[in-house]
Amino acid sequence: MFHELSPGSAFWLPHGTRIYNKLVQFIRTHLRERGYDELVTPNIFNLDLWHKSGHAMHYKDNMFCFDVEGQEFAMKPMNCPGHCLCFAGAIRSYRDLPIRYADFGVLHRNELSGALTGLTRVRRFQQDDGHIFCREDQIEEEVVGALNFMKDVYKTFGMTYKLELSTRPAKALGEIGLWQRAEKA
């Protein structure tokens, strides 16, 4: 259900909530089997995090920002920087890798009202988001594992998919040298 008093934000009524919870339970089982650890991260971060990650430069216009005691904060539109904080929160050895994080956290994006479309373009949503922290020599195995995960889930529901290789976008974050190494792989 949608309501004009919260545009772009779905209300999950009892039957929809039961279906949603079953889907989450299904994905959680697959995540555990594949060695993911589930996280719960905050919904609100100081905008400094988004400046440090580079997201503010590209996405601030699509973020819900507000003042908290003279500092700018924002609702998280994605989990990436929060997962990086979790990863950086401990001293790690290369032997600890790969580390796989999963998150079903609530995300908010300030989409233009004309762009809102059912459940495909919304302002408030949850996704089964994941991030893998690995060594360079583990990348191929981790990518194959992630693709097999997706294939298994799609197959369960009788869905098909089409893959396309994405390379460095015009608004890329990160160092050019790292992008070039990744694109050569």
Residues of the chain with pLDDT under 50: none
Residue 37: its pLDDT value, please? Answer: 97
3-state secondary structure of 75: strand
Query: Which class for 170: exposed (0-12), middle (13-18), buried (19 or more C-beta within 10 A)?
Result: exposed
Residue 185: its pLDDT value, please? Answer: 67
CA distance 9 to 123: 6
What amino acid occupies position 117? T
Residue 119: its pLDDT value, please? Answer: 84
Nearest to 68 by CA among 49, 53, 47, 51: 47
